Chain A
Amino acid sequence: MTALPRTDISIFGRWWWTVDRWTLSALVAVSAIGIVLTMAASPAVAARLDLDAFHFIRRQFLFIPLSFAILIGVSLLNPAGVRRLAVLGFIISVIGLGLTLFIGQEIRGAARWISLPGFSLQPSEFVKPCFAVVAAWMFSQWRIKGDIPGHAVATALYALVAGLLLLQPDVGMTILISVVWGVQFFLAGLPMLLVLGIGILFIAGGIGAYFNFAHVQTRVDRFFDPAGGEAYQVARSLEAVVAGGIFGRGPGEGEVKSILPDAHADFIFAVAAEEFGLITGLLIVALFAFIVLRGFALVMRDTDLFVQLAVAGLLVQFGLQALINMASTINLMPTKGMTLPFISYGGSSMAAMALGMGMVLALTRERPRANDLSRFTGRGAP
């Protein structure tokens, strides 16, 4: 690991010494757990779908190296490069989102995928990290150069994306995007009165979703009234967590994976808790918490508002997705079809997560404090 001398100034050498190796290690650890869990959970799912037992494993083994290539490739960029990539990615994925409305592949009542030769892409996964960075850029411009209405632009872009997502419909993604936008606006100095206002708006939006989307309504109803038909999947996954106990039933001994259709994706956390026990469950929570909180701590010291907002937005999206997935598995909130980052099976989700976390790594790399220098020159100028 440390074979690279600090004096190595090749691109990779510089990267290694400037990137946050703690976050990188945590991501590697999460992915490693993901590999083990995919191997544990997916054969049962594949068997039920009459697929080859190794179908999902084989594909996941393709997705993971690909994702790490994206992760590392993106983390090589400097902040300006990240910004450019995000703007480009944002434009492409918004177009993709628009296209899903017309040529989208409808799976379980929502048109979220675009079929490409050999695989399907879910543009909504890619729009999340790109939006976080673009919005951060706009907010920072508004805050620092008061003459640019960046907050208005960011809000307009948010409205556009949220509208497209609701048309699919994808309420979960809309919630994520909304929270990212809200947190960034909050960090960028939204007056407290408006913070309250937006908070109320979110609650109103939630209630609106409840009354306008039948599937949201049934899920929420089931959550609040378990007796009136506790969601089957959640009931099973709760039993799995309980059955797992502290040390788990042991690898391959779990039962929930053969019952739940989404055991390899949305409910993989239940498989983890059942087969590998509370210890592994807590380890996964700790890894996610570490990645998010360490990221926050890193940018806390940063002097570039854009970097701070962008990283905060990306980490909020990453952390919230993990939280929502785990919370619905253990019945702390209504079920929301959301993947567990870097662990759940799924190519689009993993590649998009790699893109987002690659940006986080790129933005948190140690770099010469350009602003500090300019301050010094600025002071000495007159």
Chain B
Amino acid sequence: MTDSSHSRRVHLEGARKEALATSRSRLVVTSVLFAVAFAVISGRLVELAVFEDPQARATATASRTVVQSKSRADILDRNGILLATSVPTASVYANPRHLLDARDAARRIVTVFPEVNEERLFRRLNSERTFVWIRRNITPNQQFAINALGLPGIYFRRTERRVYPHGSLTSHVVGTTDIDAKGLTGIERSFDGPLQESEQALALSLDVRVQSVVRRALNTAIEKFSAVGGAGIVVDVTNGEVLALVSLPDFEPHFGGDVTAEARFNRVTKGVYEMGSTFKLFTTAMALDTRTIGLNGGFDATKPLRVARFVINDYHAKKRWLSVPEILVHSSNIGAAKMGVAVGTKTQQAYLHALGLTRKARLELPEIGVPLIPSPWRKISTMTISYGHGIAVSPLQMANGVAALVNGGILRDATLALSAPGAVPAGVQVIKTGTSIKMRRLMRLVVRRGTGKNAEVEGYLVGGKTGTADKPGPGGYAASRRVISSFVGAFPIDRPRYVVLAMLDEPKGTAETFGYATGGWVAAPVVREIVAALGPMMGMAPSTETERLPRPGDPLHIAAGKPSQTAGNQRVRGQSVRGPSRATH
């Protein structure tokens, strides 16, 4: 062996020993770490198995399983009246793989469910699937009968069925669920999570009594005036709570799929309409609020207003200078348009935005319509919008905006959730309190002296505004001869509590109304009926004071001794704007 190889061996030997020494000591460290880890596992096991209370864990599990198998929470109205509840039912299904004879099974099952097609059932049972629904939500008798058949492979599953004790009365608000009890529309959809998870019933701001009054009044009017539909809403102006929300036609929520799209459509929240003259309230409010004009001021409505190719006209033209109160009372388009121009486009946009009319309304329903606003917003748009054309909003937005006009100028989002007693949600001051007080007086005047006379209720001071707007159709506005007639009222107007809006879609005049289908003739009486019932219902004492008419010298004094001869005779159709500027739809 050479010297070098020897030294290399010695070197290697040294390296090996050194390496082994390091490795051994480090292996001890590793072993200790592993031993500690195993000890921790053991300790944790002892902790769990010996020191944890199985009862606590078990109850946790139990309550969790209860939540899972628990039925969907109830929905109540503001007085605790049941609007929606869940009833446990059984549903029968088959595991075709467990069936002995699909043909025989199908034949015997249809003896219990005569409505089931035997051939189709057989085809489904004669498959390789492991789960086939036979019938959902069966009665106890049917379940007994199926059990008595003694068929292997036929099983039951605990299911639940959603029941709406008030049926169609609250169909658009409460909404519907699908067959698996998942929210599809309305509150059922927007509160789907809480309803599934929470055991606590969900209380709405809705009052079924008011709802019922509104629906009945609206239904009567629809039948009387052969309207295609209607919308009604009652909002508490002090906190934004919706007491009634009715869209007609409505539907029977238990019928599931057999409902027309027309009936499902929520006209109050999803539908957007050119509301017509009710918009003059907003125009007047912004003119007063910006001090563009005072109550003493006015505009010349002697001749039709010509703008480019368009002509703005009044139906019963006074052909004279009209004061601001007169413009509202006589519902003058010319006056409103001039007022709008005086306010200016920018200011108009700002106010309408502040009043929530140019954005989607916020309400706890999935069916919310987007308002249609002109783009570009020209001068002619400003003019037509001043009397409610060229902008389409939902009745909900309208009612909510008017609530802000009369409640001291504070806009609050409308809500269907019942707020805690005394709790008033914060709002946004959109007009001055003084302007709001002036608006109350003006709205009262419209009912006393103007187009809204049919909304007068003995004992309750109602203020409001009528609106009649042409509905665009094939061939334009004029050709369709169809109108949207509405009335938006607030009462008691000296200290407003509720805003009530009624709207009829395509009403036709009758002999009784001298052929008129205007807001004053068809919608104002609906509001009257609602207020007459709502006042006593809410415990409001009728006022016995005699109300004095504004005297001469008061800006609210209406010069022409006689009030508007026919309530609601200010038809907008044909007198407003013709031509492309209306094509905002």
Contacts and interface: CB of A to CB of B under 8 A. Distances in A.
Contact of A242 (B37, B38, B40, B57): B57
Interface stretch (A95-103, A116-124, A201-209, A243-251): A243-251
A246 B35 CA distance: 23
Interface stretch (A59-67, A79-87, A139-147, A212-220): A139-147
Interface string B20-33: 10111011101100
A51 to B, nearest CB: 11
Contact of B41 (A143, A238, A305, A323): A323
B350 interface: no
B50 A245 contact: yes
Interface in A168-214: 183, 186-189
A241 B50 CA distance: 10
B549 interface: no
B1 A308 contact: no
B54 A245 contact: yes
Interface stretch (B8-16, B185-193, B259-267, B446-454): B8-16
Contacts of B48: 238, 241-242, 273, 330
Contacts of B34: 289, 292-293, 296, 316, 319, 323
A299 B31 CA distance: 11
Contacts of A300: 24, 27-28
B94 to A, nearest CB: 14
B479 to A, nearest CB: 59
A189 B19 contact: yes
A273 B42 CA distance: 12
Contact of B26 (A187, A273, A319, A326): A187
A371 B9 CA distance: 12
B52 A242 contact: yes
Given A187-B23, A296-B30, A299-B27, A273 B45 contact: yes
B12 to A, nearest CB: 6
B61 interface: yes
Given A239-B57, A323-B41, A381-B1, A244 B49 contact: yes
Contacts of B42: 282, 285-286
B44 A332 contact: yes
A309 interface: yes
Contacts, number: 123
Nearest to B56: A242
Contacts of A245: 49-50, 54
Interface string A5-42: 00000000000000000000000000000000000000
A144 B31 contact: no
B35 A186 contact: no
Interface residues of A, number: 51
Contacts of B27: 187, 296, 299-300, 308, 312
Contact of A246 (B19, B31, B49): B49
Q: Which of A50, A296, A309 is the most central at the interface, judged by chain B CB atoms within 10 Å of its CB?
A: A296
Interface in B495-542: none
A140 B20 CA distance: 10
Interface in B34-74: 34-35, 37-38, 40-42, 44-46, 48-50, 52-54, 57-58, 60-61
A244 B31 CA distance: 30
A59 to B, nearest CB: 21
Contacts of B551: none
Interface in A354-382: 371, 375, 378, 381-382
Q: Which of B15, B20, B54 is the most central at the interface, judged by chain A CB atoms within 10 Å of its CB?
A: B20
A378 B13 contact: yes
Contact of B9 (A246, A285, A297, A378): A378
B425 to A, nearest CB: 29
Contact of A241 (B22, B26, B49, B130): B49
A327 B41 contact: yes
A303 interface: yes
B452 to A, nearest CB: 56
B378 interface: no
Contact of A144 (B19, B40, B50, B130): B19
B142 to A, nearest CB: 27
Contacts of B97: 50
A330 B52 CA distance: 13
B13 A305 contact: no
B16 A246 contact: no
B233 to A, nearest CB: 40
A382 B53 CA distance: 74
Contacts of A312: 27, 30
Contacts of A297: 31
B15 A323 contact: no
A277 interface: yes
A319 B33 CA distance: 11
A145 B46 CA distance: 49
B45 A332 contact: no
B309 interface: no
A334 interface: no
B6 interface: yes
A254 interface: no
A145 B42 CA distance: 42
Nearest to A140: B19
Given A245-B54, A282-B45, A323 B38 contact: yes
B49 A144 contact: no
A309 B130 CA distance: 53
Contacts of A186: 26, 30
A288 interface: yes
Contact of B50 (A188, A243, A246, A293): A246
Q: Which of B23, B28, B34 is the most central at the interface, judged by chain A CB atoms within 10 Å of its CB?
A: B23
Interface string A223-244: 0000000000000001101111
A277 B49 contact: yes
A289 B38 contact: yes
A273 B23 contact: no
A278 interface: yes
B15 A144 contact: yes
A241 B46 CA distance: 10
B49 A323 contact: no
Contacts of A305: 16, 19-20, 23
A104 interface: no
Nearest to A330: B44
A309 B27 CA distance: 9
B1 A330 contact: no
A49 B12 CA distance: 60
A308 B21 CA distance: 11
Contacts of A381: 1, 6
Contact of A278 (B12, B28, B40, B50): B50
Contacts of A183: 30
Nearest to A195: B26
B507 to A, nearest CB: 54
Interface string B189-233: 000000000000000000000000000000000000000000000
Contacts of A145: 12
A179 to B, nearest CB: 10
20 contacts: A144-B19, A186-B26, A239-B61, A241-B45, A273-B48, A273-B49, A278-B50, A286-B42, A292-B34, A293-B31, A293-B35, A296-B27, A300-B27, A305-B19, A305-B23, A308-B20, A308-B27, A316-B30, A316-B34, A330-B48
9 tightest A-B CB contacts, nearest first = A278-B49, A289-B38, A143-B19, A296-B31, A189-B22, A242-B52, A242-B57, A241-B48, A187-B23
Interface of B: 1, 6, 9, 12-13, 15-16, 19-20, 22-24, 26-28, 30-31, 34-35, 37-38, 40-42, 44-46, 48-50, 52-54, 57-58, 60-61, 97, 130
Given A278-B46, A330-B41, A330-B44, 14 more contacts: A144-B16, A186-B26, A189-B19, A239-B60, A242-B49, A243-B54, A243-B57, A273-B45, A285-B38, A292-B38, A293-B31, A296-B30, A305-B16, A308-B23
